[in-house]
């Protein structure tokens, strides 16, 4: 008996990519997901010969060993992603859809592959991944009204917000529980109308952003700013949203938001929206990963703080 697994990041892009696929192929599949920083997810898949695995929005570079394990065991893998992939294996059991361009996300890749069949859900994922201009252009192709776009943007941003935290106790609802709520609505506007969890997430986000508004720059220069947050449930949720908010409000500047975590910091970096390059390159120097426009570091030791700030201040975003 063939077993199917859908493996995805728990943010808007990953979940919306997986939703599109399951609407396209409505077969039973075991969901493997987690919070935003849960990247090494293929290690949770107990695949065997003949199984099928769909992967959405997790770095192939971070999952390479487990990908090779699955392929070696005879598992067929379909892989959609936009993060730095490293060397992509060539294997008859592997189908890849990888595009690392700065104006691409995984929901967009699935939308392309399916010919826009579930465009509304694709737009939710693209808006949630802070690619508003890309989503607006796609919406125009299908005559979505401005009010629809605003609603889909809201939903994408809220689903994305819900992915941030250290563990499931930090978030409003675990992504593994949010996914089936999403998947039962072929049109995400129905989810907005019928699922109370959407308003619950928004209330949490609004309160968290009020607390984050008091974060003054730890460092500020002509090219951007670095902000520091304390370690608290609200800051663990707000770090990515605050980075996106700053990027959208000052599109010509780069932004880094750091959150204290024991003897280290969690870091979220956004390249200037007007020059969306260099975030992954910067973060990879400190053990982080991501994309050219947005990346992060899971553990920056306190001793490396000044070195990181200096590297950020001198980074080239062109």
Q: How many CB atoms lie within 10 A of CB 74?
A: 12
Q: Where are the beta strands (DSSP E) in the chain?
A: 4-8, 30-32, 52-56, 76-81, 94-98, 217-221, 224-229, 254-261, 264-270, 289-290, 294-301
Query: Cα 317 to chain center, whole Å?
Result: 21
Cβ 274 vs Cβ 103: under 8 Å: no
Cβ 233 vs Cβ 165: under 8 Å: yes
DSSP classification of residue 173:
S
Backbone angles phi and psi of 180, in degrees to 5: -65, -30
Cβ 49 vs Cβ 75: under 8 Å: yes
Provide the greatest CA pair distance for the chain.
Answer: 60
- Tracing tokens 């049109």 back to the chain, one arrives at 187
Distance CA 226, CA 217 (A): 6
pLDDT reported for residue 318? 74
pLDDT reported for residue 1? 86
pLDDT reported for residue 289? 87
Instruction: Indicate the pTM of the whole model.
Output: 0.90
Question: CA nearest 108: which of 271, 32, 99?
Answer: 99
Measured CA to CA in angstroms, residue 168 lies from 46, 129, 158, 175, 208 at distances of: 23, 21, 16, 9, 17
Q: Tell me the HSE value of 79 on the side-chain side, using a 13 A CA sphere.
A: 29
Cβ 82 vs Cβ 101: under 8 Å: yes
Average pLDDT, the chain: 96
pLDDT reported for residue 251? 95
Question: CA nearest 271: which of 246, 290, 254, 296?
Answer: 254
Structure tokens at 242: 């605050």
Q: Over the stretch 159-211, which tens digit does the pLDDT of each residue have?
A: 999 999 999 999 999 999 999 999 999 999 999 999 999 999 999 999 999 99
pLDDT reported for residue 290? 86
Geometric angle at alpha carbon 189, from 179 and 99, rounded to 5°:
60
Distance CA 226, CA 309 (A): 7
Cβ 290 vs Cβ 279: under 8 Å: yes
Distance CA 259, CA 238 (A): 10
Q: How many CB atoms lie within 10 A of CB 237?
A: 27
Residue ranges of the chain whose pLDDT lies below 70: none
Query: Cα 95 to chain center, whole Å?
Result: 21
- Tracing tokens 């939710």 back to the chain, one arrives at 124
């Amino acid at each position: 008996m063939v077993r199917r697994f859908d493996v995805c990041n728990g943010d808007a892009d990953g979940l919306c990519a997986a939703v599109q696929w399951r609407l396209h192929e409505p077969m039973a599949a075991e969901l493997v997901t987690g919070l935003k920083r849960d990247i090494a997810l293929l290690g949770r898949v107990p695949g065997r010969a003949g199984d099928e695995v769909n992967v959405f929005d997790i770095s192939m570079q971070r999952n390479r060993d487990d990908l090779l394990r699955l392929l070696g065991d005879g598992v067929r893998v379909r892989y959609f992603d936009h993060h730095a992939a490293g060397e992509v294996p060539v294997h008859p059991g592997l189908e890849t859809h990888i595009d690392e361009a700065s104006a691409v996300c995984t929901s967009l890749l699935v939308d392309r592959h399916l010919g826009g069949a579930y465009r509304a859900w694709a737009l939710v994922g693209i808006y949630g991944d802070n690619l508003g201009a890309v989503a607006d252009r796609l919406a125009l192709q299908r005559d979505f009204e401005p009010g629809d776009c605003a609603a889909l943007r809201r939903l994408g941003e809220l689903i994305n917000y819900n992915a941030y935290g250290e563990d499931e106790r930090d978030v409003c609802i675990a992504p593994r529980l949010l996914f089936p709520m999403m998947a039962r609505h072929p049109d995400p506007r129905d989810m907005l109308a019928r699922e109370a969890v959407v308003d619950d997430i928004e209330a949490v986000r609004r309160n968290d952003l009020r607390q984050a508004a008091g974060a003054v720059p730890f460092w500020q220069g002509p090219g951007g700013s670095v902000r520091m947050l304390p370690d608290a449930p609200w800051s663990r949720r707000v770090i990515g949203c605050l980075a996106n908010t700053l990027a959208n409000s000052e599109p010509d500047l780069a932004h880094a938001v750091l959150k204290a975590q024991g003897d280290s910091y969690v870091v979220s970096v956004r390249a200037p929206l007007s020059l969306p390059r260099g975030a992954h390159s910067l973060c990879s120097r400190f053990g982080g990963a991501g994309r050219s426009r947005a990346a992060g570091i899971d553990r920056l030791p306190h001793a490396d703080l000044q070195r990181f700030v200096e590297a950020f201040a001198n980074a080239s975003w062109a």
